[in-house]
Chain A
Amino acid sequence: MSFPWAKEYTPSHPAMVWLDEKLPLPRFVYNAIGAGYPVPRNLNYFWNFGVLAGFCLVIQLVTGIVLAMHYAANTGVAFDSTEHIMRDVNWGWLLRYMHANGASAFFVVVYAHIFRGFYFGSYKAPREMIWLLGVLIFLLMMATAFMGYVLPWGQMSFWGAKVITGLFGAIPVVGEPLQIWLLGGFAPDQAALNRFFSLHFLLPFVILGVVILHIWALHIPGSSNPTGVEVKTESDTVPFHPYYTAKDGVGLAVFLFLYFAMVFFAPNALGHPDNYIPANPMSTPAHIVPEWYFWPFYAILRAFTADFFIIPAKLMGVLAMFSAILVWFLLPWLDKSPVRSGTYRPTFKKFYWLLVIDVLVLGYCGGAPAAEPYVMISQIAAMYYFLHFFVVIPVVSAIEKPLPLPFSITEAVLGKDEAATVAPAE
């Protein structure tokens, strides 16, 4: 947000003066991520994850585009062309391992980013639009990751595609024609692989576009902060550069260290061995599991094992799985508590940590075979998941008595704020 005290861009070098007159790009950058953008001074490391997500997107775009130069989207050779990248293309193994582990890193970072939002109430007014665009990005990321996983045309690629596109078949009446239309056939084959490649190339750029809107929307109110109290005076803020460029630098270095430790020393740890077996429509793997970042939702899908009145179990699972994410769109309106940050919401906070554990349990069950006791555990865990968002959040926000808030960010940081003695508390 351009608070009244935001510094103005004053180029000194003649070349920059010249450029600023013709195309005020330097001014734009200065006001977006430079000294011209005042940001709350008390952001903790959880506010690093947005920048890290942007970095992951860049890693995926760069490695992905080079991979696409060597990959062939043809069911006859897709698997072999992936192996060709791993063996014959210069540094191809590094590109591929960076891209595969980059997808995982992206989801780790985005889950942290989303759960930061849950805890600190980042989705609340005036930041609803940032949040809505964020959920949209998350949906696009899931679609992109799913289609990317199909490309190497291994066993899990094929069977994963078959199971997930099969979900559309659960929709009454239009389901089956829709599924056939989406796949271009009755089962994943050449037509499906080719269109998945095309879309997998396209969607990251759509994500990039939505990210730009996301950050634009962010710059209107500016970032929230761990207290959830809005910025009041200049002493509540610091200029983005150098303060947060420096802090983001720390987060980035730590992130890259962990990411490359995975890429170089455990590049297949998160993958499934079956995807090193070429796709074979005649042989079903013992356990079809998606990549780890889909496990919580996969557990919800499989938790519905019995028909519910007239609704078949499979359709219930599909409805539930999509609702589990779509409910996030409603969050700004379900949570009516005027207090943003979970730090000042004692009851909410307990349920928040219960949700974190619940999602981890769901994730574990989603990766496990579809057998007892995992199914029963995921039924209980899925129940809490729905109760949390649909019931606990609205009810708690209506009845909870929050703790007293600090007067301002400055007071929260320094213990006192001169402005508080002048202006009456809100």
Chain B
Amino acid sequence: MIRIFSILAGAFFSVALLWSFGKGASSYVSEPPKPTVESVYHKHAEGPEGGFSFEGAFGKFDKQQLQRGFQVYTEVCATCHALKHVAFRDLKEIGYNEAEIKAIAAKYKVPEYNATTGEVKTHDGVAKDHFPPVVYGGQGSPPDLSLIAKARHGGPNYIYALLTGYQPQPAEVLKQFPDAKIPAGLNWNPYFANLNIAMPQPLVSEGQVSYKDGTKPTVEQMSADVSAFLMWTAEPKLEKRNQTGWPVLGFLLFAMVLAYMSYRTVWADKKH
């Protein structure tokens, strides 16, 4: 009895699926999906040549690079983008000392909301404060950058590709897709999901920041540095994670060998 019901139920679902399949297939044939401008022109992000120092299971941050990236962030990106999950004191991890951190924090005005009076006051930043919100009046809404390297497919490679990928829209785009005109105020970038990004190209020319450590500030270099810095803001525990991982796996390998040897010993006289 139950098996008759079951065969009927199976037939019911199968016929319903066939019906859906038939309708889908016929519209697929009568109106095959057309390529979209995104499907044709979107490019897969590639990171800087040579990759980043923090890649792989032995990866480490390059503190010099993180400091350069922080400089690019403060001098260029900070006008539009906040970094709310990062506290000034965290900068110790990328090699700043307490006095330097105090000085960096003091340059920021940190808002403070008094819930009793409803007043908003600002105070000069101190080490324990987080980077304050940024007021932005232009087009689009710049996302907070603290987690951006984990919030996009491709992570730091994507940020690098995005920053170095600005270009004029290729002429053949409009020939193929007459509707794909860039909306006013947006910019063509083949790495951005819908190809038209509100952010104006932030890193435009060599020497836009001047590095104290003598590194040549090419657009590629600044882009790589700020991408590395944003990886650190997104995953500050990356180095500690790698360094903890190896001993743990080493121990477990040892445990695996011991467990296997005791298994062999225990079962030695039992065929199974």
Contacts and interface: CB of A to CB of B under 8 A. Distances in A.
A93 B6 contact: no
A365 B39 CA distance: 19
Contacts of A80: 85
A273 interface: yes
A383 interface: yes
A238 B268 CA distance: 13
A117 B150 CA distance: 38
Nearest to B244: A264
A87 B150 CA distance: 14
Interface string A366-401: 000001100110011011001101110011001000
Nearest to B18: A383
A316 interface: yes
B10 A380 contact: no
Contacts, number: 168
B255 A372 contact: no
Given A250-B260, A261-B249, A390-B10, A94 B20 contact: no
Interface string B1-34: 0110011011101111111110111001000010
A387 B259 contact: no
B134 interface: no
Interface in B213-239: 234, 236-237
Interface string A208-247: 0000000000000000000000000000001000110011
A264 B152 contact: no
Nearest to B23: A306
Contacts of A186: none
Interface string A273-305: 110110000000010000000000000000111
B21 A86 contact: no
B17 A249 contact: no
A296 to B, nearest CB: 15
Given A83-B85, A265-B242, A334 B249 contact: no
B113 interface: no
A87 B241 contact: no
Contacts of B107: none
B21 A257 contact: no
A42 B270 CA distance: 10
A380 B21 contact: yes
B249 A391 contact: no
B10 A371 contact: no
B270 A238 contact: yes
A249 B19 CA distance: 51
Contacts of B237: 86-87, 93
Contact of B151 (A243, A273, A303, A323): A273
Contacts of A390: 6-7, 9-11, 13
Interface residues of B, number: 58
Contact of A330 (B6, B21, B241, B245): B6
Interface in A249-283: 249-250, 252-254, 256-257, 260-261, 263-265, 267-268, 273-274, 276-277
B24 A379 contact: yes
Given A41-B272, A254-B256, A413-B272, A304 B9 contact: no
Contacts of B115: none
Chain B interface secondary structure, helix, strand, loop or mixed?
Answer: helix
Contacts of A308: 15-16, 19-20
A414 interface: yes
Given A93-B241, A261-B249, A333-B2, A304 B16 contact: yes
B267 A394 contact: no
A105 to B, nearest CB: 14
A334 B2 contact: yes
Contacts of B234: 276
A21 B237 CA distance: 52
A383 B87 CA distance: 54
Contacts of B253: 257
Contact of B17 (A246, A334, A336, A379): A379
B17 A87 contact: no
B260 to A, nearest CB: 5
A220 B245 CA distance: 42
Contacts of A305: 20, 23-24
Contacts of B244: 94, 264
Interface string A124-140: 00000000000000000
Nearest to A154: B151
Minimum-distance CB pairs A-B, first 8 = A390-B10, A264-B245, A276-B151, A253-B256, A394-B3, A249-B259, A379-B21, A386-B13
26 contacts: A86-B237, A243-B267, A246-B265, A247-B263, A252-B259, A260-B245, A260-B248, A260-B249, A263-B245, A264-B242, A264-B248, A267-B241, A276-B147, A277-B143, A286-B193, A304-B17, A308-B16, A333-B3, A375-B24, A376-B24, A379-B18, A379-B20, A382-B13, A382-B17, A383-B13, A386-B9
